[in-house]
Amino acid sequence: MFTRRRTRQMKVGPVAIGGDAPVSIQSMTSTYTYEIDKTVEQIQALARAGCDIVRVAVPEPKDTEALKHILPQVPVPIVADVHFHFQRAMEAIEAGVHKIRLNPGNIQDRKQVDRVIRACRERSIPIRVGVNEGGIIERKDKGKRAEEKAKLEQNYEEELVGIMVEKLEDYLRIFDENDFGDVVISAKSIDARIVIKAYTAISERFDFPLHLGVTHAGPKESGCIRSVVALGTLLANGIGDTVRISYASDPVFEVEDAKEMLNCLGLKPRVEPELIACPTCGRIEVDLITLVQDVRRKLSTIKVPVKVAVMGCVVNGPGEAEGADVAVFAGKGKGIIYVQGEQTRTVNESEMMDALYEESLAFAQRVERGEATLRHGGVTIKPPDPLPRADGSLPLPVISR
């Protein structure tokens, strides 16, 4: 376990952020909030996927009006995303949201910002304040804007991080003057390197909980790499209290990938099966890619963190599957299945997926009944006898590692 940076703690509904609380997962709906049924359906899907907190956009009065109907129907705390209209924040607070996303720089009237802060203080509602690479440069004061752009031309990354810290200090001063400390802060960029530098800098400067994220990360295929590189690096260094991976895609994918990232770092206990599979190579004699995809879908119904290995051959498979609770080693037309190191059966390729699922489910049920235990890497697998090829010849000798 990594040594977490200590921060002050606050509550978003029943979910604690900061302090010694587990790192929580957030996402945001892609529906129009005023479309109540669609929004509720998506929030429920995010919650089922493992999301702890969900944010919704409230740009118009009909969105904040919808909150009154949405909140009673969903199982997770809701954050209202407010940008330019302080009145939307007031309406969302009145509706009963659990947190506000607010950028004081987007609301010109300081008195309006103070009103939002007072309303949140009275109801113990935290506020997230963030700076974004895309909107950090001064837009109103032309002299200030020219000064900041000149700095960026000298050393973009370093100067940008400096501007982010400076703007956060300006924003936080407003909260301090209002005697309000339930603040979560963020400093996002599209560049993974800037994200790492910015959050590292603000973690050294402030003790507020940090909301980690990479802005405009793109589609899932590339956004996954961009996000996990940045957020995983920070979390591995003890920085971060709540995370949102953001994609231009179904937000359920954001939650699934954030959950897997936290599982891999040991920051969130795994509650579903862990699937491992060998890379494809010239020894494979089954359609491994399709098999792995099918097994992954089937395993989603199991709610025990069984470690399942799908290996395409009997050469390196046993060594690579060491530690798996359930494993299959595939040969030409056949597969050998092991449960915690013991060979249980050999099946035809057409039966392989169902047989592996049946063994995984049966083992998970034994774990639930207390008749078996997960070994957490303690399983040793004895290599099976080589399976004959279609022409009757034997494959390469089994190599045990």
- 202 with 189: CB under 8 angstroms? no
Question: Per the structure, how many domains does the chain have?
Answer: 2
In this structure, the answer to whether residues 294 and 146 fall within a common structural domain is: no
The CATH number covering residue 144 comes to 3.20.20.20
Pairing state between β 334-339 and 326-331:
antiparallel
What is the model's pLDDT at position 105?
Answer: 72
Predicted confidence (pLDDT) at residue 19 exceeds the cutoff of 70? yes
In this structure, the answer to whether residues 259 and 355 fall within a common structural domain is: no
Mean pLDDT of 20-33: 97
Q: Which tops the pLDDT comparison, 27 or 332?
A: 27
Q: Say what percent of the chain tops pLDDT 70.
A: 93
The CATH number covering residue 332 comes to 3.30.413.10
d(CA 35, CA 20): 37
DSSP string, 265-299: TTSS---S-EEEEPPP-TT--S-HHHHHHHHHHHH
pLDDT tens column, 315-366: 666 777 778 999 998 888 888 899 998 889 999 988 999 999 999 999 999 9
Predicted confidence (pLDDT) at residue 154 exceeds the cutoff of 50? yes
Which three-class secondary structure state does DSSP give residue 246?
coil
Q: Which of 114-118, 196-200, 258-262, 390-394 has the lowest mean pLDDT?
A: 390-394
In this structure, the answer to whether residues 320 and 342 fall within a common structural domain is: yes
* Alpha helices (H) along 71-125: 86-95, 110-123
Q: Which of 128-142, 209-223, 245-259 has the lowest mean pLDDT?
A: 128-142
In this structure, the answer to whether residues 256 and 329 fall within a common structural domain is: no
In this structure, the answer to whether residues 296 and 200 fall within a common structural domain is: no
In this structure, the answer to whether residues 231 and 109 fall within a common structural domain is: yes
On whether residue 391 sits in a domain, the answer given is no
Q: State the number of CA atoms in the 13 A half-sphere of 84 facing the CB.
A: 2
In this structure, the answer to whether residues 253 and 285 fall within a common structural domain is: no
Strands (E), 133-241: 183-188, 211-213
Predicted confidence (pLDDT) at residue 224 exceeds the cutoff of 60? yes
pLDDT tens column, 158-197: 989 999 999 999 999 999 999 999 999 999 999 999 999 9
- 335 with 327: CB under 8 angstroms? no
On whether residue 158 sits in a domain, the answer given is yes
What is the model's pLDDT at position 251?
Answer: 96
* Domain stops at, among 264, 288, 313: 264
Question: In the structure, what pLDDT confidence band is assigned to residue 57 with cuts at 50, 70 and 90?
Answer: very high
Q: Say what percent of the chain tops pLDDT 90.
A: 68
Q: Which residue range forms the structural domain that includes residue 212? A: 10-264
* Domain stops at, among 241, 264, 287: 264
On whether residue 157 sits in a domain, the answer given is yes
On whether residue 106 sits in a domain, the answer given is yes
On whether residue 387 sits in a domain, the answer given is no
In this structure, the answer to whether residues 134 and 171 fall within a common structural domain is: yes
DSSP 8-class letter at 14: T
Mean pLDDT of 147-154: 86
- 207 with 7: CB under 8 angstroms? yes
d(CA 130, CA 14): 23
pTM of the entire structure? Answer: 0.89
On whether residue 385 sits in a domain, the answer given is no
- The mean of the pLDDT values for the chain is 90
In this structure, the answer to whether residues 108 and 193 fall within a common structural domain is: yes
Question: In the structure, what pLDDT confidence band is assigned to residue 399 with cuts at 50, 70 and 90?
Answer: very low
Question: In the structure, what pLDDT confidence band is assigned to residue 204 with cuts at 50, 70 and 90?
Answer: very high
On whether residue 335 sits in a domain, the answer given is yes
DSSP string, 383-397: PPPPPP-TTS---SP
In this structure, the answer to whether residues 362 and 213 fall within a common structural domain is: no
In this structure, the answer to whether residues 123 and 189 fall within a common structural domain is: yes
What is the model's pLDDT at position 388?
Answer: 53
pLDDT tens column, 352-384: 999 999 999 999 999 999 999 997 766 666 666
What is the model's pLDDT at position 375?
Answer: 78
What is the model's pLDDT at position 383?
Answer: 65
What is the model's pLDDT at position 377?
Answer: 62
The total of other beta-carbon atoms located within 10 Å of residue 369's CB is 8
In this structure, the answer to whether residues 88 and 235 fall within a common structural domain is: yes
pLDDT tens column, 58-112: 999 999 999 999 999 999 999 999 987 889 999 999 999 999 998 877 777 889 8
Closest C-alpha among 336, 347, 348 to residue 381:
336
On whether residue 384 sits in a domain, the answer given is no
* Domain stops at, among 201, 236, 264: 264
- 75 with 47: CB under 8 angstroms? yes
